């Protein structure tokens, strides 16, 4: 297709509104992009099993999950960057001493290393998921692409200073994603862009949160949602309206895509 473009959309606060609903205008716009022959993918910190229904509804078969650590291109996995197993085991020991629970995630499931913790329930509840089941041995013999660690923001520095192989990306006041150091959505976006033989000029990215910043900076056609954090807005080439105010459609029309 001549003039084919490549689109990457974050999920929470970008495709989904503040109540985790997909606005009708957004659904129609994304489907219109696909009908026009554009390549449309998702780039999220979520695990694949957490947005399966959304993919199927929109007809999307390519995505970056775990902030780029596990990527699927047209139904086939092409990116697999699990957490270092020894370092994850060390993190588990240290976090347990500090009463900071963990949730381990692979492409199919997630398990907690303690039976229950209110911060796990509160944080994951904002994504409309229940407290994960207890299975402290889930990390053994599996590739874990992302972990969630639960503690207050004022303790961030301890983990950032002591785990060079990991990046800690805060997504909730009680929780941070744990991903391989240097891993980001931008890396996955570049991999898929190269696989398609496309250039940055053809690339459009949409996001709202701290884990979108690298992706936003990577693309010259970057859109920050009106509800996005200040760092994302400052890095983006265009700031659209709020996700609940037809922000996706507004941006696509502004860019001359729709």
The answer to whether the beta carbons of residues 13 and 225 sit under 8 Å apart is yes
Q: Which of 10, 177, 202, 208 is catalytic?
A: 10
Q: How confident is the model at residue 80 (pLDDT cuts 50, 70, 90)?
A: very high
For residue range 41-77, what is the model confidence (pLDDT) as tens digits? 999 999 999 999 999 999 999 999 999 999 999 999 9
Residue 188 token pair: 């996955």
Predicted local distance difference test score (pLDDT) of residue 170: 86
Mean pLDDT along residues 201-215: 95
Q: Identify the helix (H) or strand (E) that includes residue 225.
A: none
Mean pLDDT along residues 172-196: 93
User: In angstroms, how far is CA 179 from the centroid of its own chain?
Assistant: 11
pLDDT at residue 1 above 80?
Answer: no
For residue range 126-143, what is the model confidence (pLDDT) as tens digits? 989 999 999 999 999 999
**Residue 109 annotated to the active site:** no
pLDDT at residue 17 above 80?
Answer: yes
β-strands 203-207, 6-9: how paired?
parallel
Predicted local distance difference test score (pLDDT) of residue 154: 87
Q: How confident is the model at residue 31 (pLDDT cuts 50, 70, 90)?
A: very high
pLDDT at residue 2 above 90?
Answer: no
In the block, residue with structure tokens 């092409």: 78
Strand partners, 8: 41, 205
Quick one: angle between helices 24-35 and 247-254, nearest 10? 40
């Amino acid at each position: 297709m001549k003039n084919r473009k490549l689109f990457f959309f974050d999920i929470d606060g970008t495709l989904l509104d503040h109540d985790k609903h997909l606005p009708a205008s957004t659904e129609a716009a994304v489907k219109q992009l696909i009908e026009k022959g554009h390549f449309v993918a998702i780039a999220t910190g979520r695990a694949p099993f957490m947005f399966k229904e959304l993919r199927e509804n929109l007809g999307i078969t390519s995505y970056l999950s775990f902030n780029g650590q596990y990527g699927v291109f047209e139904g086939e996995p092409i990116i697999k960057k699990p957490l270092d197993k020894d370092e994850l085991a060390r993190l588990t020991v240290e976090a347990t001493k500090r009463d900071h629970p963990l949730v381990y995630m692979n492409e199919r499931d997630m398990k907690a290393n303690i039976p229950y913790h209110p911060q796990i329930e509160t944080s994951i509840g904002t994504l409309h998921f229940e407290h994960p089941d207890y299975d402290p041995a889930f990390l053994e013999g599996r590739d874990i692409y992302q972990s969630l660690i639960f503690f207050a923001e004022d303790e961030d520095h301890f983990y950032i200073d002591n785990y060079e192989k990991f990046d800690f990306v805060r997504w909730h006041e009680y929780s941070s994603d744990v991903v391989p150091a240097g891993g980001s959505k931008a890396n996955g976006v570049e991999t898929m862009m190269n696989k398609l033989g496309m250039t940055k000029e053809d690339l459009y990215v949409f996001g709202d949160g701290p884990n979108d910043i690298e992706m936003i900076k990577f693309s010259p056609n970057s859109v920050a949602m009106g509800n996005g954090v200040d760092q994302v807005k400052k890095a983006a080439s265009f700031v659209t309206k709020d996700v609940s105010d037809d922000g996706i459609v507004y941006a696509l029309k502004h860019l001359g895509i729709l």
